[in-house]
Amino acid sequence: MAFHFEILKKDETTGARLGRCHTAHGVFHTPAFMAVGTQGTVKALTPEELREMGAEIILSNTYHLYLRPGHERIRRLGGLHRFMHWEYPLLTDSGGFQVFSLNSLVKISEEGVQFQSHLDGSRHEITPEKAVEIQEALGADIIMCLDECTPYPASHEEAERSMELTLNWSERCRDSRRREDQALFGIVQGGMYPDLRKRCVEALGGMGFDGYAMGGLSVGESKERMLEVVSRTAPLLPLDQPRYLMGVGTPLDIARAVLQGVDMFDCVLPTRNARNGMLFTKGGRLVIKNARYADDDSPIEPGCSCYTCRHYSRAYLRHLYLAEEILAMRLNTVHNLHFYLNFMGEIRQAIAEERLKDWVKTCYAQGASEEENDPGEPDPWGSSFPQKLAGKRNPAPVRAASMK
């Protein structure tokens, strides 16, 4: 088995851990952020550019690749690593989250989930066995169990039924795997109910997975609620295995979850926001289209070492964005991903030097100054989720379902 997780250091005063994860395609360091490459590409960037900015592991979406170009085709062409020219650690989700979030005609049964393609209306069924089969054909280093993302809000009874289904599916995923060079992660569900989350952790732990994810979060609940569930769930997970918080989040969300002992994250925020002209800086957001940047010759963030900040001014980036030039998306994505990956590097450094708590406090202090930065715009540091979507049956595809 190629997969192995090493904990290099545990923070004395918090739950944070510094680690190293060995996979069939090399090593990644934790806490880690995985850029989202929905269609087998992190939008607007080449693998070389990703690697240059320090990406060690990326994520791709099973649902999209299954529908187009098809997992069997990717297998015939040598697997996803070769197909997309990324030779390093790669994770695929199970496809379940996208089935639920991108389709209105979804039927869930004990057997699996039936749905119609969002592309052409064709009918499909994904069972736990099928989810593993597809992910084995794609060949990522870490694959995920099929789970049901518990809707929010859900009653205790609904969340319990949903969690039981996830447990049943998880066991079937474990039993159907054939490849031994891939790690399989179980996903903890249970809605916002600590007793259900605890039961789910115990049952999954008994099945024996290579790592554990927390799912069903960042689906419309308040940030406080999300962090409370994380803080009560993460400590129950096996100490010596990686913990992955799916679909989270803003830089501060990530920092707070690291304090609770989470090792892995993924989110579309840095890439999607880049394409919408929203740039992350230490002082908060920067909305590049704002008139105040029309004559601004400074980089997005003075001192940032990314390619974009080394060569281009806010004024030029604003011009590219308003002119709808392709380069705007590329340059903005370079900066935002650099920001996230650099942020994770600083977290790891702070854990190594036993000053994580102080470092997080400094982040808060800097983030607070954003209020004067761009008044009236959505606040990416404060909310990873549009409030108007709260409570809908289908969680908005913040996690990784970006279509455009």
Smallest distance, Zn ion to C-beta of residue 375, A: 23
Q: Is-contact 336 308, C-beta < 8 A?
A: no
Number of residues lying near Zn ion (CB under 5 A): 5
How far is the C-alpha of 253 from the C-alpha of 249, rounded, in Å? 6
Q: Is 93 a catalytic residue?
A: yes
Smallest distance, Zn ion to C-beta of residue 325, A: 18
Q: Which of 11, 93, 147, 210 is catalytic?
A: 93
Q: How many CB atoms lie within 10 A of CB 50?
A: 22
Q: Which is nearer to Zn ion, 278 or 304 (CB)?
A: 304
Q: Is-contact 229 192, C-beta < 8 A?
A: yes
Which among 399, 390, 339 is positioned nearest to 215, based on CA atoms? Answer: 399
CB neighbour list of residue 284: distance below 8 Å, 6 or more residues apart: 366, 367, 369, 370, 371, 373, 374, 379, 380, 381
Smallest distance, Zn ion to C-beta of residue 182, A: 35
CB neighbour list of residue 206: distance below 8 Å, 6 or more residues apart: none
Q: Which is nearer to Zn ion, 60 or 308 (CB)?
A: 308
How far is the C-alpha of 365 from the C-alpha of 152, rounded, in Å? 32
Smallest distance, Zn ion to C-beta of residue 42, A: 17
Q: Is 141 a catalytic residue?
A: no
Smallest distance, Zn ion to C-beta of residue 306, A: 3
Q: Between the CA of residue 152 and those of 44, 158, 395, what are the distances in Å? A: 32, 10, 8
CB neighbour list of residue 62: distance below 8 Å, 6 or more residues apart: 71, 92, 93, 94, 95, 98, 131, 134, 135, 138
200 belongs to the binding site for Zn ion (CB under 5 A): no
* Burial class of residue 48 (count of CB atoms within 10 Å of its CB; 0-12, 13-18, 19+): exposed
Sites for Zn ion among residues 333-352 (CB under 5 A): 335
For residues 285 to 324, the per-residue mask of contacts with Zn ion, x marking binding by CB under 5 A and - elsewhere, is -------------------x-x-xx---------------
Smallest distance, Zn ion to C-beta of residue 319, A: 17
Q: Is-contact 358 346, C-beta < 8 A?
A: no
Q: Which is nearer to Zn ion, 89 or 299 (CB)?
A: 299
How far is the C-alpha of 343 from the C-alpha of 254, rounded, in Å? 10
- Listing DSSP states for 187-249 in one string gives EE--TT-HHHHHHHHHHHHHH--SEEEE-S-SSSS-HHHHHHHHHHHGGGS-TTS-EEETT--
Select the span of 223-231, 252-260, 332-340, 384-392 touching Zn ion (CB under 5 A): 332-340
Q: Which is nearer to Zn ion, 183 or 309 (CB)?
A: 309
Q: Which is nearer to Zn ion, 132 or 331 (CB)?
A: 331
Q: Which is nearer to Zn ion, 204 or 304 (CB)?
A: 304
For residues 234 to 263, the per-residue mask of contacts with Zn ion, x marking binding by CB under 5 A and - elsewhere, is ------------------------------
Smallest distance, Zn ion to C-beta of residue 308, A: 5
For residues 144 to 163, the per-residue mask of contacts with Zn ion, x marking binding by CB under 5 A and - elsewhere, is --------------------
* H helix count then E strand count, the chain: 15, 16
How far is the C-alpha of 38 from the C-alpha of 36, rounded, in Å? 6
Q: Which is nearer to Zn ion, 193 or 312 (CB)?
A: 312
Q: Between the CA of residue 277 and those of 12, 138, 273, 291, what are the distances in Å? A: 39, 32, 6, 13
Could you list the active site residues? 93, 266
Contacting positions for Zn ion (CB under 5 A): 304, 306, 308-309, 335
